[in-house]
């Protein structure tokens, strides 16, 4: 398996519902980041959580990190149609503070 | 404050031609990273550069690929004698590297290379 694998691969919800995406990784990390990518576009940085942090909030986003389970989750509350995108978690390979490893992403579709 | 800029946004080449992709980092950023994204895949690290220095090119194929970040001008990712398997989206990211053990990398819109 790859470092930084998102689950589920695809998620479809109705506007107003919450969306939860998970990410698992295998080696030790310094931190973990979540990015959003709209179809055919570049990546937009959402949030960075350091290995000594357990939870972080940014607007409607809530990220948790469990280093004992080597997993993270991204929660988007009160979803909007504009949240439709692919979401990627990216980890630094332990020891590297710049080489990000991405999973294949979760494709989130928010239906109006 | 303009973000990371990449050009061209789309590039079509025939097999055997050269592809040249450009990246201008965000203002004040002196560190550039190139990633490649194959269809239905996540991004894969290729190379990390500072001005006039290649810091880590461990993710870059040994042949046909090269990268530079000159003192003046954009960073260039060059692919010689392209093959169909080079078709992908190539993303550039930059960071200020002012300190700390990692900084957020800010990504450009990407260049989508299609090799016919």
pLDDT at A96 over 90: no
Average pLDDT over residues A89-112: 84
pLDDT of residue A23: 92
Q: Identify the pLDDT of residue B13.
A: 97
Q: Are strands B43-50 and B53-56 parallel, antiparallel or unpaired?
A: antiparallel
Query: Which H or E run contains B77?
Result: strand B75-79
* A10 close contact with B: CB closer than 8 A: no
Q: What is the DSSP letter of A104?
A: -
Closest chain B C-alpha to A42 CA, distance in angstroms: 4
Closest chain A CA to residue B96: A98
Residues of chain B with Cβ-Cβ distance to A92 below 8 Å are 102
Residue burial B4-42, b: 16+ Cβ < 10 Å; e: rest: bebeeeebebeeeeebebbbbbbeebebbbbbbbeeeeb
d(CA A30, CA A100): 11
pLDDT in tens, chain B (116 residues): 578 999 999 999 999 999 999 999 999 888 999 999 988 788 899 999 998 999 999 999 999 999 999 999 999 999 999 999 999 999 999 988 755 555 788 899 999 999 99
- Which of chain B's residues have a Cβ under 8 Å away from the Cβ of A103? 42
Residue B45 has its nearest CB partner, among A31, A101, A104, at: A101
Closest to A83 (Cα-Cα) out of A49, A48, A50, A34: A34
pLDDT at A2: 42
> Quick one: how far is CA B55 from the chain centroid?
14
E-only strand ranges, chain A:
5-7, 10-14, 19-24, 31-37, 43-50, 55-58, 61-66, 71-76, 85-92, 100-102, 106-111
Q: Which residues of A touch B105 (CB under 8 A)?
A: 45, 98, 100
CB atoms within 10 A of CB A16: 11
The reported pLDDT for the residue numbered A104 is 86
- Residues 46-105 in A contacting B (C-alpha not used; CB under 8 Å): 48, 88, 90, 92, 97-105
Token reading at B5: 């800029």
Residue pair A32/A55 in contact by the 8 Å Cβ criterion: no
Pick the residue from chain A with its C-alpha nearest to B106.
A45
- Give the pLDDT of residue A94: 59
């Amino acid at each position: 398996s790859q470092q930084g694998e998102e689950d589920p691969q695809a998620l479809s919800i109705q506007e107003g519902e919450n969306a939860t995406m998970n990410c698992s990784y295998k080696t030790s990390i310094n931190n973990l980041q979540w990015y959003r990518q709209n179809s055919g576009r570049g990546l937009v940085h959402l949030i960075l959580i350091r290995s000594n942090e357990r939870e972080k909030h940014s607007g409607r986003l809530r990220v948790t990190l469990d280093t004992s389970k080597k997993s993270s989750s991204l929660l988007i509350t009160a979803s909007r149609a504009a949240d439709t995108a692919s979401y990627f978690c990216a980890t630094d390979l332990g020891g590297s503070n710049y080489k990000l490893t991405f999973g294949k992403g979760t494709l989130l579709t928010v239906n109006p | 404050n303009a973000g990371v800029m990449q050009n061209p946004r789309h590039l079509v080449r025939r097999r055997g031609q050269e592809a040249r992709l450009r990246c201008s980092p965000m203002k004040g950023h002196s560190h550039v990273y190139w990633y490649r994204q194959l269809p239905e895949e996540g991004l894969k690290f290729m190379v990390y550069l500072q001005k006039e220095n290649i810091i880590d090119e461990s993710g870059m194929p040994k042949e046909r690929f090269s990268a530079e970040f000159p003192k003046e001008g954009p960073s260039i990712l060059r692919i010689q004698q392209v093959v169909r398997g080079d078709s992908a989206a190539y993303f550039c990211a930059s960071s200020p590297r002012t300190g700390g053990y990692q900084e957020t990398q800010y990504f450009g819109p990407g260049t989508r290379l299609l090799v016919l």
